[in-house]
With several copies, the nearest count.
Chain A
């Protein structure tokens, strides 16, 4: 068994609006001096520490957790799972 770090990134599916990202862009960034930013999207990340025998198992376990426990709501969000050695 080894310990792995997993980044679970939850973000809006394309087409779903992201008022928070838009607000940061329009009311903060573009009001300042930084005009080269064209888009900001917000996402939520969960960093898991998990013990499993290998990366593949981790990947599938975490995917299972996310689906079963509705870590993300599939109607509006998608989830990306990145596994790293600890």
Chain B
């Protein structure tokens, strides 16, 4: 089963994501350059973190106009699982695939630290192996990671079960402590924290099992191999 890792100019977690997909979870992963079309037979798409276009103007906004986004939108419509991590989340939001916006952290600084997520929706292709409200130790690393939605949209998100992850405590001023959301259909998920940095015990100072479930959920959804 093929997973596409989209690479924009300035993506910098693409190689990390690729390593985790292939070496840790045995997916058949493939880099997809932003100017090319997505392969037709792709089973899932991941937009990794980084600084596409140097985060200029606003994180994610320039990449959201990349040619490949048209294909990503088509795939989204078809119900194919799509995950945006960090800058990938910012791009999904700026391209209108997910609601809300990511603003500068309240501290005004880049924040690289470990935190805990709480799973709020375990029905998505990336969370189906979690128990509801399960805790995930995971690192964040972002400067524009404060998720914002207005009150009406927040109500909608709650109603439609679109909040996927929340921080266990206030860290950057996000609306409702939101760390990740999905579209109404649930197949497009965006999250600020970096699961690819947390699945290997060697570099995870807490517990790598919960983060692994994000990838195992995808495995459960699309299967491995041919």
Which residues of A line the B interface, CB within 8 A? 16, 19-20, 23-24, 27-28, 31-32, 69-71, 73, 75-76
From B62, B100, B101, B173, name the one whose CB has the most chain A CB atoms within 10 angstroms. B62
- A-B pairs under 8 A by CB, number: 47
Chain B residue contacts of A32, Cβ below 8 A: 65
Chain B residue contacts of A16, Cβ below 8 A: 148
Q: Assess whether A75 is in contact with B101, with CB atoms less than 8 Å apart.
A: yes
A24-B62, A69-B65, A75-B100 are known contacts. Are A19 and B54 too (CB-CB below 8 A)? yes
Partner of A20, one of B65, B101, B108, B173: B108
Partner of B54, one of A20, A73, A75, A76: A20
Interface of A is mostly: loop
Quote the shortest CB–CB distance from A39 to chain B (angstroms): 15
A28-B65, A71-B57 are known contacts. Are A20 and B94 too (CB-CB below 8 A)? no
Chain A residue contacts of B202, Cβ below 8 A: none
Q: Assess whether A19 is in contact with B62, with CB atoms less than 8 Å apart.
A: no
Chain A residue contacts of B101, Cβ below 8 A: 73, 75-76
Does chain A have a CB within 8 A of B103? yes
Q: Assess whether B53 is in contact with A70, with CB atoms less than 8 Å apart.
A: no
A69 to B149, CA, bound (A): 20
Partner of A28, one of B62, B108, B173: B62
